[in-house]
Structure formats: structure tokens, C-alpha cells
Amino acid sequence: MLNVTNISKKYGKKSILSSISLSVQKGEIIGLVGENGAGKSTLLHILATIQKPTDGVISLNDMSYDKNKKVIRKQIGFVPQDIAIWDEFTVEENMIFFEKLSWRKKSKIELKQLCLDMELDKWKEPTKTLSGGMKRKLNLAISLIHDPELLLLDEPTVGIDLKSRKEIGTYLKNQAINEKKSIVYTSHDMDEIISLCDRVICIGEDPFYKSILIDSGKEVISF
Ligand SMILES: Nc1ncnc2c1ncn2[C@@H]1O[C@H](COP(=O)(O)OP(=O)(O)OP(=O)(O)O)[C@@H](O)[C@H]1O
């Protein structure tokens, strides 16, 4: 279980996040919403151990981030907002490249299956010829190579068509329900957030997101 207690983040004198507390259980999908610049990516980067909070405490399965960063990183899969794959490589070469960097080993058959599970079947295609949606699916597949228990996804479906969005949504639901993964997920697509997430964290000043969520009957925590 992920526990976040009173996290704050400042860049110089500018306060971005203030006293954020949340917990994410195994098998839960948490949506993270808010206006541009509210601090969603900053929070995800902190949860991914890429940035440090100015204040506050985070733990995963009772291990504190401060003292167990190396172990905790092995349990995290992170998909950044900008697609992070090798454009010149095929899907297969990308998967094999990132498997080599992974602490958990996977066979080529397992890597291919990971792609097929999310309807990505262009195994031998150069990545640069894939659509934006296919590239996002590949990025997601890469983040799952080491079987992380916590998945942090920064707008994984931005700019992709409805069919691919639905496929990714179904895949994530399956990961949460059957594989008991905890998922924290940002999106500006409120229909997607409402249909996919168990609970929603709303950050920032703008009441717009909160009002939509409250109308939907979703459990919302705002900061
Ligand atoms: N390294 C940095 N130094 C200074 N300010 C930063 C830095 N990184 C982010 N910020 C500022 O922090 C604020 C929050 O940025 P962040 O990217 O977390 O927002 P966001 O909610 O993810 O936005 P979006 O929806 O546009 O992706 C913004 O005002 C941004 O300019």
C-alpha cells in the first residue's frame, strides 16, 4: 500500500503542492485531476522518486521512500507524459532493450505477450511508423516489464483515439483487478476518469474539476 502524508513541494518560493495526504490500496485505480499547472506531474514525479518533496513522508508497504529508494524503485512502473521509447528501434527491439535494463528478466515470448495483452501487435514494425496510440501502448508495456506493483501514469491516453483509449482503459482495469496493481493516473478526460477510477484526487484552485466529479457521484478528495 502507498501512503503519502502531508507532502508539500516548493520551487524556490513558489508553492506547488501543499499538505497532500493520500493512500492507495492494492488493486485500486486513483485518478489525479486538476487544471494545467496544478502540480499533477510534480506529484507523480515525487511518487516515482524522481523528485523529492520539500516536506512530508511517503512509504510503500511500510518502507519509507527516504531510506529504501532502491528497493522501492523496483516496485514502480512510471509512464511519463512525453513518450520515452527508441524511435529507430522496432517494438521488439524496444522491449528487449528495456528488458535488459530491468531487474526482472522476461523471455521474448513474455515480452511479446505483454504487448499483445494491450492489443499492440506490430512486433516487427519500426516504432517511428507507429501511431501515437500504439507508441503510448508500447510505453505502457515497457513500464510493466518488471511487474511493478505501483503504476504511475502521466496522461497515458492523451491524443489517442477512442478505441485505443478504451483498450488501454480495459487493460488497466484488468491490471488492477486481476494483478492487484495500484495505479495512479492523470488525465484531462473526465469521462475516462469517472469510468476507470475508484477514487479521484483533485488538486489546484479551480473548482471546475471538483464540480464535475461531485455531480458524477465519485469519491473525491481535494487539496
Ligand atoms: N523544475 C521546475 N522548476 C520550477 N517550476 C516548475 C518546475 N517543474 C514544474 N514547475 C511548475 O510547477 C507547476 C506545476 O507543474 P506540473 O507540470 O506538475 O503541472 P500539471 O498539473 O502536471 O500540468 P499539466 O496539466 O499542464 O500537465 C507549474 O507552474 C510549473 O511551471
Q: What is the pTM of this model?
A: 0.90
For 105, residues 6+ apart whose C-beta sits below 8 A from its C-beta are: 99
Q: Is 202 in the pocket of ligand 1 (CB under 6 A)?
A: no
Mutate to test the pocket of ligand 1, among 17, 42, 222 (most ligand atoms within 8 A of CB): 42
Nearest CA to 193 among 163, 158, 151?
A: 158
The answer to whether residue 82 scores a pLDDT higher than 90 is no
CB of 37 closer than 6 angstroms to any ligand 1 atom: yes
Question: What's the pLDDT score for residue 219?
Answer: 80
Which residue among 18, 41, 43, 189 has the greatest number of ligand 1 atoms within 8 angstroms of its CB, and so is best to mutate? 41
For residue 50 and ligand 1, the question of a CB distance below 6 A is answered with no
Three-state DSSP class for residue 24: strand
Q: Which pLDDT does position 4 carry in this prediction?
A: 96
pLDDT digits (tens, 9 = 90+) for 99-114: 999 998 999 999 999 9
Ligand 1 and 15: CB distance under 6 A: no
**Predicted ipTM?**
0.94
Q: What is the pLDDT of residue 160?
A: 80
Q: Which ligand 1 atom is at minimum distance from the Cα of 203?
A: 21
pLDDT for the residue numbered 94: 96
pLDDT at 217 over 80: no
In order of start, what are the domains of the chain with their CATH numbers? Answer: 2-82+148-222 (3.40.50.300)
Question: If you average pLDDT over every residue of the chain, what do you get?
Answer: 91
Q: Please, which pLDDT band fits residue 62 given cuts at 50, 70 and 90?
A: very high
Which residues fall within 8 angstroms of residue 20, CB to CB, at 6 or more apart?
Answer: 4, 6, 7, 8, 43, 56, 201, 203, 223
pLDDT, residue 214, reads 77
∠ at Cα 38 (4, 201), nearest 5°?
45
- Taking the C-alpha atoms of residue 117 and residue 132, their distance in angstroms, rounded to an integer, is 18
User: Which residue blocks in the chain are alpha helix, DSSP H?
Assistant: 40-47, 69-73, 91-101, 108-117, 132-143, 162-179, 190-196, 207-216
| pLDDT level of residue 221 (50, 70, 90 thresholds) | confident
> Does 97 contact ligand 1 (Cβ within 6 A)?
no
Q: Is the CB of 182 under 6 A from ligand 1?
A: no
Q: Summarize pLDDT for 15-32 with one digit per residue, the tens.
A: 999 999 999 999 999 999
Give me the pLDDT at residue 166, please. 87
Joined together, the cell numbers standing for residue 104 give 526482472
**pLDDT: which is higher, 206 or 11:** 11
Longest dimension (CA), the chain: 51
Give the distance (Å) from ligand 1 centre to CA of residue 53. Answer: 14
Cα-flanking dihedrals φ and ψ of residue 27, to 5°? 85, 5
**At residue 195, does pLDDT exceed 80?**
yes
Q: Work out the average pLDDT over 157-186.
A: 89
Indicate whether residue 159 lines ligand 1 (CB < 6 A): no
